[in-house]
Amino acid sequence: MKFYDALQLDPAILKQKIAACNTGREKTYYWIAMVARSVLIVAFAIVFISLLSGVFGADNTPLAVALFCIMLGIRFVNFEYCIGDSLVTLAAALAILVLAPSAAAVVPPVFLVPLHFTAFFALLCMTAQRPEMGNGGLYSFAYIYLTGNPVVGEALVRRGLLALAGYLICGTILFIKHRDQHKTTRFHQVMRKFDLSVPVHLWQLRMALGVSLVLTAGQVFGVERFMWMGFACASLLSEYPYSGNPTTRFRQRMVGAVAGSCAFFVLYLVTPEAFHTWMGPLGGLCLGFCADYRYKTAMNCFGALMLATGIYGLQGAVLLRIVDTLLGVTFGLVFAALFHRLAGVRFLPALDSSEGA
């Protein structure tokens, strides 16, 4: 395998190849690829996000982060319909990511659930026809992150311009990588086939409803850093194939959040202050070696806590991370059980019979 091709592989696949190697030289080759991949991604992320933040303002850094993630994902995963419709829906998705979070910050609470549900459900329908490929988690992360970091006025105009720049970058990659795929499939054809007895469509509905409810609850009750609740809840509901019992993901998320928060706390205390600004990139670097969901969750804590420590202090940020995660996964677990019970009356028997066929 060429070194460039090895750099494109997920850490889980690289670790499988390392385990299957017969010689130390082969193992070293793939370990070097894994290290290089992680370093290059973090370095590129710093340059890309810093550049866009410098041009469009630090208050729009969250969208720069989201665009970086979308850009990485769109190289490998398309929307499962023709390139013309895909480019249109990419523009629509970015418009939702710009406008809906800012609207949610100013509308009366009574409109929050309809707004979040409509925006998030549309986002999933446009981008996540195959949830197992990761688009559901990618665009849900972007929506929740931006909802927790809304802007208004002149900053919103700059956010729109940043989204336009992101569209030109991501749209170009989408066209180059996927223009010859799904040529005969149109977006409206996909939408006409919407049926809640189909697992992916039931998953989309549950995901959109659950996330819209947890975000609304966080905003209405004034939960600090409520987007962390949203991330935790979405992590349970994004699991695919559809399952009415996400208890395994519940435990993994909590274990990862507690372990990552405690590791950050200890490392922050024992390292010099000059090192603290690098703890976010350190988490990103370590993330490049993680294949297990628990470890990924732990490493994701580093960047989040680095930003929050400047606002809430070290102890406040760590405690808030753990509490918000607990609230989010508990909400997700209860919601998944209720949704499964209600959906089972009408939709799940048909779903089960279709899977058996």
d(Cα 7, Cα 12) in Å, to the nearest integer? 12
Average pLDDT over residues 183-211: 92
Q: What is the pLDDT of residues 27-42, one digit of tens each?
A: 999 999 999 999 999 9
Contact status, residue 51 vs residue 123, Cβ threshold 8 Å: no
Average pLDDT over residues 206-212: 96
Work out the pLDDT band at 347, boundaries 50, 70, 90. low
- The candidate with the shortest Cα–Cα distance to 159, out of 301, 241, 56, is 56
Answer whether residue 175 shows pLDDT above 50: yes
Long-range contacts of 111-115 (CB under 8 A, 24+ apart): 112/212, 112/215, 112/216, 112/219, 112/220, 113/212, 113/213, 113/216
Contact status, residue 70 vs residue 86, Cβ threshold 8 Å: no
Q: Which amino acid is at 162?
A: L
Q: Which amino acid is at 15?
A: K
d(Cα 332, Cα 229) in Å, to the nearest integer? 9
Answer whether residue 340 shows pLDDT above 90: no
- For position 222, what pLDDT does the model report? 94
User: What's the whole-number average pLDDT of the chain?
Assistant: 92
- For position 203, what pLDDT does the model report? 92
Answer whether residue 357 shows pLDDT above 50: no
Average pLDDT over residues 49-73: 96
d(Cα 213, Cα 356) in Å, to the nearest integer? 32
- The candidate with the shortest Cα–Cα distance to 77, out of 65, 86, 85, 64, is 86
CB atoms within 10 A of CB 231: 27
- pTM of the predicted model as reported, rounded to 2 decimal places: 0.93
d(Cα 211, Cα 235) in Å, to the nearest integer? 10
Which contiguous run of DSSP H or E holds residue 293? Answer: helix 293-346
Structure tokens given for 136: 């559901």
- For position 241, what pLDDT does the model report? 80
Answer whether residue 296 shows pLDDT above 60: yes
**231 Cβ neighbours under 8 A, 6+ residues apart:** 141, 144, 145, 328
Q: What is the pLDDT of residues 248-278, one digit of tens each?
A: 999 999 999 999 999 999 999 999 999 999 9
- For position 345, what pLDDT does the model report? 52
> What are the helix (H) ranges across 75-153?
83-104, 112-127, 135-147
d(Cα 91, Cα 337) in Å, to the nearest integer? 35
- For position 351, what pLDDT does the model report? 56
- For position 349, what pLDDT does the model report? 58
Whole-number CA gyration radius for the chain: 20
Work out the pLDDT band at 346, boundaries 50, 70, 90. low
Q: What is the pLDDT of residues 102-152, one digit of tens each?
A: 999 999 999 999 999 999 999 999 999 999 888 988 999 999 999 999 999
Q: What is the pLDDT of residues 320-339, one digit of tens each?
A: 999 999 999 999 999 999 99
Answer whether residue 91 shows pLDDT above 50: yes
Answer whether residue 356 shows pLDDT above 50: no
Cα angle 45, 50, 55; round to 5: 135
Answer whether residue 353 shows pLDDT above 90: no
Long-range contacts of 268-274 (CB under 8 A, 24+ apart): 268/309, 268/314, 269/314
The residues spanned by each domain of the chain are 1-54, 57-194, 235-357
d(Cα 176, Cα 194) in Å, to the nearest integer? 29
- For position 341, what pLDDT does the model report? 86
